Amino acid sequence: MNLNNDISLEFLGPILLAVLAFIVICVLISCIKVVPQAQALVVERLGGYQATWGVGLHFKVPIIDRVAKRVLLKEQVVDFAPQPVITKDNVTMRIDTVVFFQITDPKLFAYGVENPIMAIENLTATTLRNIIGDMELDQTLTSREVINTKMRASLDQATDPWGIKVNRVELKNILPPAQIVDAMEKQMKAERERREAILIAEGEKKSSILRAEGKKESAILDAEAEKTAAILRAEAAKEKMIKEAEGQAEAILKVQQANAEGIRLVKEAGADQAVLTLKSFEALEKVADGQSTKIIIPSELQNVAGLVKAATEVAKD
């Protein structure tokens, strides 16, 4: 009986040592921690915060140390379900938001709040209700950027004690009630029709102005052309009158020269009183051939002959 016990102890001892060695190796391996990029480990010792491990190889004390939380340091995106909100003019709508956040302090994130994502969702809903409650429906629909900025500032300040930085907040959808949507569509249709009518009226106005300006320019050009034509006609008439006057003056000069030549010939021929009288009648005939309507003839033809004789003497001198 003792022999059997001795044999059992001989085989059991190495087995126990092997098991113990395996356990020790497993514990040692479990104490080796490799932290990958963009992650951090929150380590506790005996239930209290010990350290935050960053990227690289780390060792922890067996049994005493433990990894309390593994934290992701990348920027994260959370899409929250639509939340009912009421505007300043008592219109109920549903708005869903998208929050972009990043964990900046793993310790605060691990011990700051129990459920950070749920906390951010509830905080987003209350902040959104507060902001929309001070705005009317039309202002809400046209002020997304303002709402986004206000929400980001408010959430970033509220989540700072939790080690969370809110980088951006976006309103994904704004869903007004169906009757409000119908009224907005009718309003938009009426607005488009009004703009169309205004554009048509402005087009007709510009067209009328252009036609009037065209007529005005045409009338101005016609007047300028008529003025130029009148000036040309006046210059042509003036040149014609000058030429006619020059012709008449030349004709009168030739007539006077012919008369002077006739008087000279009469003088040289030694004409008597009867010839002078006859020449006087010829001169009267030429005078009567003009445009005059009345001719005054002296009562004594001797006076006419005397006049001719006096003219001859003057010519002689």
What local confidence, expressed as pLDDT, does residue 298 receive? 53
90 and 64 in a single domain? The answer is no
Which has more confidence, 270 or 123?
Answer: 123
Does residue 201 form part of some domain? yes
What spatial distance separates the first Cα and last Cα of the chain, rounded to whole Å? 205
Distances (CA, A) of 123 to 128, 153, 159, 239, 289: 8, 12, 9, 103, 127
145 and 103 in a single domain? The answer is yes
Distance of alpha carbon 131 from alpha carbon 148, whole angstroms: 10
For residues 168 and 100, the answer to whether their CB atoms sit within 8 Å is: yes
The domain boundary residue, chosen from 256, 290, 309: 256
Does residue 50 form part of some domain? yes
Q: Does the structure show a pLDDT above 50 at 301?
A: no
Least confident of 12-26, 67-81, 215-229: 12-26
Average pLDDT over residues 144-154: 91
pTM for the complete prediction?
0.54
275 and 225 in a single domain? The answer is no
195 and 134 in a single domain? The answer is no
Residue 298, domain extent: 271-317
67 and 84 in a single domain? The answer is no
Provide the 10 A C-beta neighbour count for residue 70.
Answer: 14
**pLDDT interval class at 274 (50, 70, 90):** low
- What CATH number is attached to the domain comprising 110? 3.30.479.30
Q: Choose from 25-29, 62-66, 155-159 the range with maximum mean pLDDT.
A: 155-159
- What CATH number is attached to the domain comprising 41? 2.30.30
96 and 29 in a single domain? The answer is no
> Which runs of consecutive H residues, i.e. helices, occur in 270-300?
273-288
99 and 156 in a single domain? The answer is yes
What local confidence, expressed as pLDDT, does residue 211 receive? 87
237 and 291 in a single domain? The answer is no
Least confident of 1-15, 58-72, 78-92, 256-270: 1-15
Q: Does the structure show a pLDDT above 60 at 296?
A: no
Q: CA 117, 123, 127, 130: dihedral to nearest 10 degrees?
A: 140
* The two three-digit tokens of residue 254, written as one number: 């030739």
What local confidence, expressed as pLDDT, does residue 314 receive? 44
* The two three-digit tokens of residue 176, written as one number: 């007004």
The domain boundary residue, chosen from 256, 283, 309: 256
For the chain, the average pLDDT equals 80
**pLDDT interval class at 172 (50, 70, 90):** confident
The domain boundary residue, chosen from 5, 38, 72: 72
136 and 221 in a single domain? The answer is no
Average pLDDT over residues 256-268: 69
266 Cβ contact partners less than 8 Å away, ≥ 6 residues apart:
275, 276, 279, 312
Does residue 91 form part of some domain? yes
149 and 236 in a single domain? The answer is no
Does residue 93 form part of some domain? yes
Does residue 13 form part of some domain? no
**Across-strand partners of 114?**
none
Which has more confidence, 107 or 254?
Answer: 107
Distance of alpha carbon 53 from alpha carbon 42, whole angstroms: 7
Q: How many domains does the chain have?
A: 4
Long-range contacts of 136-142 (CB under 8 A, 24+ apart): 136/87, 136/88, 136/89, 137/87, 137/89, 137/91, 137/93, 137/176, 137/180, 140/87, 140/93, 140/174, 141/174, 141/176
Does residue 65 form part of some domain? yes
277 and 210 in a single domain? The answer is no
Distance of CA 111 to the CA centre of its chain: 54
Does residue 4 form part of some domain? no
Which has more confidence, 277 or 293?
Answer: 277
Does residue 12 form part of some domain? no
**pLDDT interval class at 76 (50, 70, 90):** very high
252 and 278 in a single domain? The answer is no
